[in-house]
């Protein structure tokens, strides 16, 4: 009987401990649940505040401007006609007052690589052939920023000769009927160079007498483009022809005309 009472007491104690354990566990779980709810509420409040700030920030931020495509940019293609030249750029692009090396109009340029041509000097690219119209690109490859274009087009290289040749015939003229070539001179010089040459007429020539044969004209390719100095020396006559800048091949005639009686 004592054993039964003792066992019963132990059982009661164990059940009591079990109930206490269950109660403590339930209480702990309730505490955890409450804490979780507080944490969830706190997180929710933070999210609401963050979303509110983000919305306000988006409302105050400028709307990105969409980038225009090539059609909207109105990118014009400019083809460089080199007229027999080699090297340098072939195509450049123009859009809204600026020049570009690419068709997307992203890489702005102010100059180009110029072409080359044997025995010729590059003078630039023009709107028209042979230097006609506006000069768009100069001889150094610099683009004229003041030029405005409205359509794609081809522009043309202008070339001048690297070397030019000038030939002068000294002519004696009498009575408007007979011409006699007294002397001739020819020289090849660099394009754009200054030219001068002196003809010397010896004193034993009838043309040495300035009174009988006076200077009449100096014409090159039919135009008066040079200057003449005519001097009588002690033993001869010196006639000097000068041209400030020779930019093309020239065939010239320096004419002395008979003004007194005599024979040629």
Question: Do residues 182 and 264 make contact, with C-beta atoms less than 8 angstroms apart?
Answer: no
Among candidate residues 248, 244, 250, 84, the one with its CA nearest the CA of residue 161: 248
Rounded to whole angstroms, how far apart are CA atoms 264 and 62? 95
Q: Is residue 215 a contact partner of residue 209, using CB atoms and an 8 Å limit?
A: no
pLDDT of residue 229: 94
How far apart CA 174 and CA 217 sit, in angstroms, is: 14
- Would you state the pLDDT for residue 53? 65
Query: pTM of this prediction?
Result: 0.48
- What is residue 1's predicted lDDT score, i.e. its pLDDT? 45
pLDDT confidence of residue 103:
95
pLDDT recorded at residue 204: 87
Series of mean pLDDT values for 10-residue runs along the chain (264 residues): 64 79 76 75 77 63 57 86 95 96 96 92 94 95 95 95 92 78 94 93 88 91 93 89 93 90 49
Q: What pLDDT shows up at residue 65?
A: 57
pLDDT at 259: 85
- The answer to whether 231 touches 244, Cβ cutoff 8 Å, is no
Alpha-helical runs (H) found in 61-188: 70-73
Q: How many residues does the chain have?
A: 264
| Strand duo 213-220 + 250-258: pairing | antiparallel
| Nearest Cα to Cα of residue 227 among 217, 237, 235, 236 | 217
DSSP state letter for 108: B
Alpha-carbon distance 105 to 111, whole Å? 15
Task: Give the integer Cα–Cα distance in Å for 182 and 215.
Answer: 13
3-class state of residue 15 by DSSP: helix
Q: Say how far apart CA 244 and CA 236 lie, in whole Å.
A: 26
Phi, then psi, of 162 in degrees rounded to 5:
-70, -45
Q: How far is CA 32 from CA 20, 36, 209, 258, in A?
A: 18, 6, 134, 133
Token duo for residue 85? 């030249």
Q: What span, in angstroms and rounded, lies between the C-alpha atoms of 195 and 17?
A: 129
Which of 184, 153, 155, 156 has the alpha carbon at shortest distance from 171?
184
Q: Strands 178-190, 91-95: parallel, antiparallel or unpaired by DSSP? A: unpaired
């Amino acid at each position: 009987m004592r054993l039964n009472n003792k066992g019963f007491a132990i059982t009661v104690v164990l059940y009591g401990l079990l109930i206490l354990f269950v109660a403590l566990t339930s209480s702990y779980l309730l505490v955890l649940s409450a804490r979780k709810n507080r944490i969830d509420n706190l997180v929710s409040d933070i999210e609401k505040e963050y979303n509110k700030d983000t919305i306000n920030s988006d409302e105050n931020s400028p709307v990105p401007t969409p980038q225009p495509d090539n059609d909207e940019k109105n990118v014009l293609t400019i083809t460089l006609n080199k007229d027999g030249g080699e090297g340098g750029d072939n195509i450049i692009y123009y859009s809204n007052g600026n020049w570009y090396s690419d068709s997307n109009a992203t890489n702005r340029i102010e100059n180009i690589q110029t072409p080359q041509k044997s025995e010729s000097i590059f003078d630039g690219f023009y709107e028209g052939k042979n230097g006609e119209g506006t000069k768009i690109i100069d001889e150094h490859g610099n683009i004229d920023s003041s030029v405005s274009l409205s359509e794609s087009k081809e522009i043309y290289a202008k070339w001048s000769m690297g070397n030019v040749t000038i030939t002068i015939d000294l002519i004696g003229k009498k009575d408007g009927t007979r011409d006699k070539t007294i002397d001739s001179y020819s020289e090849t010089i660099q394009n754009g160079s200054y030219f001068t040459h002196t003809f010397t007429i010896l004193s034993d020539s009838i043309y040495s007498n300035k009174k009988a044969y006076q200077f009449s004209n100096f014409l090159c390719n039919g135009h008066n483009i040079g200057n003449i100095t005519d001097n009588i020396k002690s033993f001869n006559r010196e006639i000097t022809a000068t041209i400030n800048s020779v930019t093309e091949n020239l065939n010239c005639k320096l004419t002395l005309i008979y003004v007194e009686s005599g024979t040629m």
